[in-house]
Structures are given as structure tokens and as C-alpha cells.
Structure 1
Amino acid sequence: MINFLLRRLFLLGTVLFGLSLLAFSLGYLFPGDPLQNFSGIRQLEPQLRAELTAAYRLDHSYLSQYLAFLNRLWHGDWGLSLASQQPLLSEIRQVLPATIELTSYALLVSFLFGVPLGILAAIKPEGYLGKIINTITVAGYSLPVFWWALLLIMVFSVGLGWFPSGGRLGVLYEIPTVSGFMLVDIFLAETPYQQAIFLDALRHLALPTVVLATFPTTVMIRFVRDAMLEVWEQNYIKTAKAKGLSRLQVLYRHGLRNALLPVIRQIGLQFSALITLAMLTEVIFSWPGIGRWLLDSIYQRNFPAIQAGLMIISVLVITVNMLTEILHTFFNPLARKR
């Protein structure tokens, strides 16, 4: 197990090294002045240009510049945004919790609905229930995210008026930002209208979560169904049936535990897909997350922000995938043996 952890940590370091090298190269690959791309400062006076050139070591070799770039990243100097002229790290801290909150709830919804429906589809795959679940899964897998989001807004926001069409909280309420996670900040806030604010936040969270959770839920259903069908044909399942155990006992004691082990790894893969889908979802629902912030930066040609957003999203995805891989190996004896 220790050797496995060391190999994974070495792989993580290698990937992060390649990512930092790509991020550094973008300063030269983007159009414009490399010094402006690295610093984000629009107006570079001659004296300031000379100081930044010396600080960024642009008059030295590329290796020296890359080491200076890593040193700036380590100390939190990620440059300024070309659009707002504010530090990029502070802007990322403001928008990243909203994306993590939305993707976490969507991943939780996909797990809570995907696993039971996948098990039901595997119990009698040729029955009516199994066919209905498979049909819904194929339909949900094929839905374009932007069309599905607009359809839900048209029906439940414009037509029925049950849910708001965008934002994280109504304009009537104001919550001080402590952690950046809306529901957590509501619990921490001392206000007499806490329950009303909490319900309003849940109403704002409902439609984006459903839209974002649709794709991973369908993938989870199909994955759990296939895993259950594969486990159901193993010899130890047949032995348990021969001992006289009921179908429910065999499912709970033997089938479910072994079929759900690969789901841990699948959660990490679905998190990567959620981060990508969250960009479209945040734009449609005006959700102030890093996906919407990054797309706005692309439209504004805000090259330092694009560079910082690429690094943050990539590090987040790589870290979550690595953690799920380690957890899967920890809980799976066969994986540890291999």
C-alpha cells in the first residue's frame, strides 16, 4: 500500500509539473506582451516594466523564468485580472466555492438516485421496470445540457413559477460571506429570517442541481447495473443461492458490497465531467462560479485569468481523481494485491 501511495504521489507530481509548464508557456503563446500576460497590468510604465522584467527574470533563460513563475505561484502572486485589475487569487477564492457547492450537490444527487435505480435495473433486466429505467437512462444521457436547462426554466420558472431562473439567493436577502458556501454561510449567519433565507437558497439551487446531475446520474445507473450483473454471475453468488439464502439476502450481503466498490472510482470520473458541464450550467442559471467566471474571461480575452482558471480547475480535477483512486484501492483488497 505504501508503494502504491508513493507511485500515486509521484504521478501527481509529474502531472502537476506538466500542468505548470503548460501554464507558463501560455504567457508566451497568448497574443500580446508576455510581461502583460504574466502580470495582468494594463498600463506598464517604463520604470514598472523594468522592475517587473527583473522580478520575473524575463531577461534570463526560460528555465530561470519558469522557476520564478513557480515561486510566484507558491507565494500567491498570480497576477492581476486584465478586466478588473484585482488580484486573481482573491477573485478565484470568491467564485470557486460556488462551483464546488453546485457540483458536490449534483454528485450527491447522482449517487442517491443512480445507485438504487441501477440496482433495480439489474435485479430483473428483462422486466418492465428494468426496461423503463434503461429507457429513461438513454434519454437522459442524450439530453443536451443547454436544452435541458432552458426547458426546465421555461416550465418550472416561467410557466409554473415554482423556482427562480438564476442566481444563488433572492435580492431581498443578504448574507455575509464567511466560507463562500451559501448554505453554510446561512447557518453561520445570525439573522431572524434564517429559515426563509435557507428555503430561498434551496429554491435557487434546485434547477441547476437537477440539470447538472442528469448526466452523471444516467452514467451511474448504467455503471451500477453492469457491475451488479457482472457480480451476479460470480461463483460465490451462486454458492450463496445454493445455501438457501433469499434474493434480498444475497443482494445485501454479497452482491451489493462487491458491486459498489468500483463506484468509488466512478465518482472521481463523474466529478471531472461535472466541472466541464458546470460551465454551461452556471452561464444559463447566472450562477457565480468559476465556470462562468472563466467563460467571461475568455470573451474578454483576459489571458491571466484564463491561465489561472486552467490551473485551478485542472488541479481540482486531478486531486479528486487521485483521492478516489486511493480510496478505491484502500477498500478493495484485490486492487491492493495488484
Structure 2
Amino acid sequence: MSFSLAYLFPGDVLVNLTGITPQNDIQRSALIQQYRLDQPYIVQFAFYLQQLVTGNWGYSFISGLPLRNEVAIALPATIELSAYAMLIAVIVGVPLGCYAGLRSYSTADYAINTGSILSYSFPVFWLALVFILVFSLELGVAPLSGRVSLLFDVPHRTGFVLLDILLADGINRKLAFTDALHHLLLPTLSIALISTAAMIRLTRRSVIDVLNRPYITAARSRGLSKWQIFFRHILRNALLPILPLMAMQITTLITNAMIVETLFSWPGIGNWLIQAIYQRDYPALRIGMLAVSSVVITLTITIDLINRLIDPSREKFERATV
């Protein structure tokens, strides 16, 4: 699909593919031969894959910089934002979901379930705008945009701002770290509220399903306490189905992160792609979409493999159902 976009975008295929505008016919002929555009499509595609593997992703129309370098700067910012939001969702959502499942159909369960439904129903862009209006413009307790204050010159090393601050020299790390956390607060919460709501509902449903299993009744008949039953039987078995469901949330999580980036001027891949759309930077759009889709597919497959390792019975169950 990424290769086809070079032909589907308006303009010259050579320019869309390389990001280089030939200055004369000699340079154009050399580029055509270099990128195999004078050969069949299958040969062009094979060479395109070779260039992707070797890191030659072309150049940006606007900046003139290699797209590999620009993606290496923008993509970690998106992954960082998504990772912190998912961490909050797990830390908050799993305990609340377990509590709601254990207290199913009680007042506490109805309250938690109602709150999760409301949180999940809010559009992420609307939620982010409300946070900006209340906490940034009205109360002034959180920064409006960016990853860190301009007062701190944090060199780019890993692409993750908190790690880069810890590895930086010549700056006040404590103040810079605190400032970066303040910048992370609103965009992370905007994404985490929706992800936490989904995690609560998934965990609650899984706990209720485990509570109705025969081995829970057998554990109670043996005289085990509620805490022993919970930690030995309920928690372990309830968390196993959640991992593959988390893989399904990755696409939503990264999509929400890309939307929030544009509102908070967070220098991630989503904000970078929006700027590329405005400026009609076709090589950047092509590589940016490829980078995002590759991250989503890689994370989804990784989580599925981890789930198969910790839950070998899942594969047997799937084969039996087939």
C-alpha cells in the first residue's frame, strides 16, 4: 500500500517516491535508473523493499531531511505518550475492574460501571479541549503545549523525553524532569481516561466470568478465605483474557494519541503527519503511514505471542473450536 501511494498521489511518481526534485534531465534519468522506475512494477517493489530495510526512506519535500531521521524523532514521542496512557489504564483500570467484578450488581459496581461508560463515550478531542480550557487557560496549573519548556535544552538521544532528561548533561535534571511531567499530564490523561474506561469494563467482565466457574465453588467449599480465592484463582484466571483484548485496544490508543498531539502541539507522529497533509508532503505521508501501521502490527503480534506463551491452553481451545 505504501508503495502504491507514490502512484496514487498527484504529481510525479519519482518525486513522490524519493522526495527529490530533479534539476535537469540527466539527474532525472539517473534517479529513474537508481529506483528501477524504468523496469516492471515487481522489480520496482522489490527495490522499494530493499530501500526500506536499508533505511533509505526518501526525503521530505519541506525540510529536505531524510525521512528516516524525522520519523526517528516523531515516532518515539507518540509511543511515549501511548505507553504512559496505557500504564495509567492498567494501574487504575485493573483494580477498579476487579473491585466492580467482585461487587457485581451492587451500588459500587453500578457507580464504577456508569463512570466508565461516560468516560468511554467522551470523544478524545473534546476531552482534550476541556482539559486545555479548565487546567491550562482557567487554572493555569498545566502547560498548554510542547514536551518540555524552552528553558531546558534537552539533547535528542532516545526520543523519550524523560529518558533524555536523565541522560542529559549540563541541565538541572530535577527541574527539567518535573517540567516534562507537567507537560505530559494533560495529554496523557486525555488518552488514559478513555483507555482506563475500556480496561475497567474488560476486567469487570472477566472477573464476573471467572466467579461463575466451578473451581471457584470448589475453592470456597475447601474453606479458603476470600483473599486466598482472589489471588490464587480469580486474579490469575481473570487477567489471562485481558491481554489479547489489550491488543485490540492498541489501534484505538495510538489513534487517540495522534489526535491529542495536534491539540497539545506534541511533536509526535500524528502532529507530524497533520503538518505533512497541510503542506502536501507526499513522501512524508507515505512513510508516516507505513511507520504507524508497522508499530501497530508489531505490537499486536507481540502481545498475541506473549499471551500464547503464558496461556498455552488458548491455542488448544482455538484448535478445538475450529
TM-score, length basis structure 2 = 0.96
Letter in 2 for 1:328: N
Q: CA deviation at 1:234?
A: 0.3
Distance 1:166 1:241 in 2: 53
Distance 1:316 1:255 in 2: 33
Contact 2:22 2:28 in 1 (8 A): no
Q: For this pair of structures, how many residues does the alignment match?
A: 317
Contact 1:40 1:79 in 2 (8 A): yes
Contact 2:7 2:13 in 1 (8 A): yes
Query: In the alignment, what sits opposite 1:62?
Result: 41
Distance 2:281 2:106 in 1: 54
Distance 1:44 1:200 in 2: 46
Q: CA deviation at 1:89?
A: 0.6
Q: CA deviation at 1:60?
A: 1.1
SS across alignment from 2:241: helix
Query: In the alignment, what sits opposite 1:39?
Result: 18
Identity rate of aligned residues, in percent? 43
SS across alignment from 2:150: coil
Contact 2:125 2:263 in 1 (8 A): yes
Query: In the alignment, what sits opposite 2:9?
Result: 30
Post-superposition CA distance 1:257-299 (Å, at most 9, x none):
0000122222322222111111110000110001110111122
Give yes or no for the alignment of 1:96 onto 2:75.
yes
Give unmatched runs, 5+ long, in structure 2.
318-322
Query: In the alignment, what sits opposite 1:162?
Result: 141
Contact 2:74 2:272 in 1 (8 A): yes
Name which of 189, 202, 219 aligns with 1:223.
202
Give yes or no for the alignment of 1:211 onto 2:190.
yes
Task: Please give the residue correspondences for 1:255-334 in structure 2 after superposition, counting only pairs within 5 Å.
Answer: 255-334=234-313
Letter in 2 for 1:50: S
Q: CA deviation at 1:43?
A: 4.4
SS across alignment from 2:32: helix
Distance 1:234 1:217 in 2: 26
SS across alignment from 1:37: helix
SS across alignment from 1:24: helix
Contact 1:39 1:304 in 2 (8 A): yes
Distance 2:3 2:172 in 1: 48
Distance 2:307 2:53 in 1: 30
Distance 1:262 1:300 in 2: 44
Give yes or no for the alignment of 1:183 onto 2:152.
no
Distance 1:329 1:54 in 2: 46
SS across alignment from 1:214: helix
Contact 2:244 2:303 in 1 (8 A): yes
Q: Larger deviation: 184-193 or 280-289?
A: 184-193
Letter in 2 for 1:265: P
Distance 2:201 2:23 in 1: 55
Query: In the alignment, what sits opposite 1:78?
Result: 57
SS across alignment from 1:288: coil
Contact 2:207 2:234 in 1 (8 A): yes
Query: In the alignment, what sits opposite 1:150?
Result: 129
Letter in 2 for 1:77: N
Post-superposition CA distance 1:152-174 (Å, at most 9, x none):
11111111111101100012111
Distance 2:119 2:272 in 1: 27
SS across alignment from 1:52: helix
Letter in 1 for 2:219: A
Distance 2:7 2:211 in 1: 55
TM-score, length basis structure 1 = 0.91
Post-superposition CA distance 1:199-255 (Å, at most 9, x none):
110000011100011211111100000000001000000101111122222111101
Distance 1:245 1:73 in 2: 58
Letter in 1 for 2:198: V
Query: In the alignment, what sits opposite 1:239?
Result: 218
Query: In the alignment, what sits opposite 2:320?
Result: none
Give yes or no for the alignment of 1:123 onto 2:102.
yes
Give unmatched runs, 5+ long, in structure 1.
1-21
Letter in 1 for 2:265: S
Distance 1:207 1:331 in 2: 35
Q: CA deviation at 1:40?
A: 0.8
Distance 1:328 1:132 in 2: 31
Q: CA deviation at 1:88?
A: 0.6
Distance 1:66 1:44 in 2: 25
Q: CA RMSD in A?
A: 1.2
Contact 1:107 1:271 in 2 (8 A): no
Contact 2:152 2:171 in 1 (8 A): no
